[in-house]
Amino acid sequence: MEKEFVWQTEQFDDIKILRYRVPAFESLSPRERIFIYYLSRAALAGRDILWDQNNRYNLKVREALERIIRDYPGDRNSDEFRQFIVYAKKVFFANGVHHHYSMDKFRPAFSKAYFRDLLSAVGASELYAETERMVFDAEYMAKRVVLDEGTDLIRASANNYYVGVSQEEVERFYGDAGEVQVSRGLNSTLVKENGRIFERVWKVGGLYGEALSEVVAWLEKAMDYACNARQQEVIRLLVDFYRTGDLEVFDAYSIAWLQDTDSSIDFINGFIEVYGDALAYKASWESVVEIVDREAGERTRKLADNALWFERHAPVDERFKRSEVKGVTARVMQVAMLGGDCHPATPIGINLPNAEWIRERYGSKSVTLDNITYAYEQAASVSGVLEEFAGSEEEKRLVREYGALGSRVHTDLHECLGHGSGRMLPGVTAEALRSYYSVIEEARADLFALYYIMDPKLVELGVIPSEEVARAEYCSYIRNGLMVQLTRLKPDEKLEEAHMRNRQAIASWVFEQGREDGVIERVVRDGKTFFVIHDFKALRGLFGQLLAEVQRIKSEGDYEGARRFIETYGVKVDARLHQEVLERYEALGVAPYAGFINPEYTPVMKDGKIVDVEISYPADFLTQMLEYGEKNRRPESQGY
């Protein structure tokens, strides 16, 4: 009898470590498993790129932490060494010294003198002396991404996308492009030297060249095992992009990737998301390897097939609707490997490409990561959060019966149709919304999902069995947006991360707009606050009204409208409610953040040739982090 699978392996600070299973891997052919193996190695080979992108000291700090953990001969059971290990785990989890969500720099609970003793004990005092200020000076490079209006966002942010330039210089360098039909700035560091501003491009032979050479080597091995000729062409284009750094090639790759809808194994690999840049020009490196779950994919196929119906019936101005919807594809996947900015913390759904002109002209491809969602659900089923924060027994019933399906359908709608809907007016580009683009785009996709999850069309299509699924999702969304997500903040902090801002902005706006009509009621019982929805249909109407306004903001490039909406509803926190939520959540003993240990793939060799691959599920987070560091150790001369 199979031993029961352990979903959560440990918890430290505000983080819990989970594992995910890949049931589909066992049913693959040996050829397909070898393909997974090579794609997985490519997914891990670019890890150091992300660390350096997040901050220029990160790799040095990581090397120091790894060396101490590996070689320290002293007492490993002392309180200070335990505190050191917790700090190291937090840094490994965040791919650097700043929190992966709040962007604030971690503060070690051990002393500077103790850190010096640790370095001395492993013979590395001089080698890593420069890391001391980064680790212990709380004010130095305090925040990875700064979004405060009225400050120079580039100079204030501690990421490593820009060297010696100001926000004004960056905006001038990339501005005035009109209707851009090629991606810009995604794969370069913008540098000012001797009064000249130029890009150092991330490519083979350029910046991050050694890591990208290794990524390319694994992709070339994978190419021989691709599912079909079209997918081979996708990989070839990606390899060409990494070799040339030419973003026109990247766009060609993106278009070819979204048009590959037949492959049973798919992957994402590249400089993709721009959340780590306050101005949303520079993209972090990430990779995900996935296996198609054809049975679960029937749900998303129905949505994609009816994309034009949803576009035509959206409650937005006709000027902002697409007259035709091209190439909208939605697939349910089982993740086989996570890498770069998707590991250890990972999304549960992805919609790409991000380039607006590609979406409008060619379409987009959405993937829902079903086994990741399932792992989250297994870990959450015993957390007690629902019982503590749900406002009524009816809400608890709805969420227990339909919450998991509601969350999945919301993700499908958000990724497949939300991000793929609407259009910008001629001449308007994402740059118009500046630092608010990411949060407005996430709000738009969320509102699309919230509005349509209660539409009778979903029952008609067989996507959901009844309206109760929507009711469950509405309860979960409002509860999370107004209360539960606040557990991710420390007292007196404001909301910074785009998804958190988006959720609170939506929930706060509909609560305020519907207050007089009693759509949502704030109830206090025995000193505990709850938000109870009384009129679900009216709430859907409010979601529709806000969707119309947020779509207008994006389509017109209304920066002031975006600023007013987000700053009014999505940034400030009710301090008294926040403190109450923290106390209630702390009593549950649950960590608000979660990330994953990856599976391990071991080649089966015969006569010196790989003939198959076996999967196993490691259970020790720190061991995997150290192994990844050892496998990707490179000389400093690579020019990071």
Compute how many other C-beta atoms are within 10 angstroms of the C-beta atom of residue 369.
26
Query: Under the phi-then-psi rule, with left for phi > 0, alpha for psi from -120 to 50, and beta for the rest, what region is 54?
Result: alpha
Asked if 312 and 455 count as a contact pair (C-beta separation under 8 A), the reply is: no
pTM over 0.85: yes
163 residue type, one letter: V
Q: How many folded domains does the chain comprise?
A: 2
Distance CA 534, CA 450 (A): 16
* Residues 632 and 574 occupy one common structural domain: no
Residue for token digits 């198609």? 292
* Residues 493 and 630 occupy one common structural domain: no
Question: Residue 422 has what pLDDT?
Answer: 94
Question: Residue 149 has what pLDDT?
Answer: 78
Would you say residue 194 lies in a domain? no
At residue 346, the 3 state secondary structure works out as coil
Asked if 316 and 422 count as a contact pair (C-beta separation under 8 A), the reply is: yes
Distance CA 362, CA 444 (A): 20
Residue 22 carries which DSSP code?
Answer: -
Distance CA 489, CA 118 (A): 31
Distance CA 324, CA 118 (A): 63
* Residues 121 and 250 occupy one common structural domain: no
475 contacts: CB under 8 Å, gap ≥ 6 = 390, 391, 395, 398, 399, 533
453 residue type, one letter: I
Would you say residue 164 lies in a domain? no
Asked if 440 and 494 count as a contact pair (C-beta separation under 8 A), the reply is: no
* Residues 503 and 586 occupy one common structural domain: yes
* Residues 500 and 414 occupy one common structural domain: yes
Asked if 352 and 363 count as a contact pair (C-beta separation under 8 A), the reply is: no
CATH number of the domain that residue 492 is part of: 3.30.540.30
Question: Residue 3 has what pLDDT?
Answer: 65
Distance CA 616, CA 636 (A): 32
Distance CA 445, CA 411 (A): 9
* Residues 532 and 586 occupy one common structural domain: yes
Would you say residue 187 lies in a domain? no
Between β-strands 15-19 and 8-12, what pairing exists: parallel, antiparallel or unpaired? antiparallel
Would you say residue 155 lies in a domain? no
At residue 180, the 3 state secondary structure works out as coil
400 contacts: CB under 8 Å, gap ≥ 6 = 386
Asked if 96 and 52 count as a contact pair (C-beta separation under 8 A), the reply is: no
Question: Residue 299 has what pLDDT?
Answer: 86
**Integer CA distances (angstroms), 19 to 196, 266, 336, 379, in order:** 48, 21, 12, 10
Would you say residue 281 lies in a domain? yes
User: Helices 393-412 and 298-305: crossing angle, nearest 10°?
Assistant: 70
Question: Residue 1 has what pLDDT?
Answer: 33
Which helix (DSSP H) or strand (DSSP E) does residue 439 occupy? helix 437-452
Q: Which residues pair with 352 in a beta bridge?
A: 365
Would you say residue 418 lies in a domain? yes
Distance CA 311, CA 379 (A): 36
Would you say residue 169 lies in a domain? no
Question: Residue 638 has what pLDDT?
Answer: 40
- Burial of residue 193, with CB atoms counted within 10 A of its CB: 0-12 exposed, 13-18 middle, 19 or more buried: exposed
Task: Look up the domain containing 67 and give its range.
Answer: 8-143+604-638
Question: Residue 570 has what pLDDT?
Answer: 97
* Residues 613 and 574 occupy one common structural domain: no
* Residues 524 and 613 occupy one common structural domain: no
Distance CA 67, CA 522 (A): 52
Question: Residue 2 has what pLDDT?
Answer: 47
At residue 309, the 3 state secondary structure works out as helix
Q: Record the tokens describing residue 343, joined without a space.
A: 């590991």
At residue 198, the 3 state secondary structure works out as strand
Sheet holding 188-193, edge to edge: 162-163, 188-193, 196-201
**Cβ-count burial 397-427 (b if 16+ within 10 Å, e if not):** ebbeebbbbbbbbbbbbbbbbbbbbbbbeee
Nearest to 455 by CA among 493, 498, 417: 417
Parts of the chain with a pLDDT under 70: 1-3, 176-181, 632-640
Residue 435 carries which DSSP code?
Answer: G
* Residues 109 and 230 occupy one common structural domain: no
Q: Where are the alpha helices (DSSP H) in 483-558?
A: 498-513, 536-556
Query: Under the phi-then-psi rule, with left for phi > 0, alpha for psi from -120 to 50, and beta for the rest, what region is 160?
Result: alpha
Would you say residue 228 lies in a domain? yes
Asked if 415 and 366 count as a contact pair (C-beta separation under 8 A), the reply is: yes
* Residues 116 and 234 occupy one common structural domain: no
195 residue type, one letter: G
Whether the bond between 344 and the residue before it is cis, its omega within 30 degrees of 0, is yes
Q: Which residues pair with 610 in a beta bridge?
A: 605
* Residues 248 and 391 occupy one common structural domain: yes
At residue 178, the 3 state secondary structure works out as coil
* Residues 588 and 608 occupy one common structural domain: no
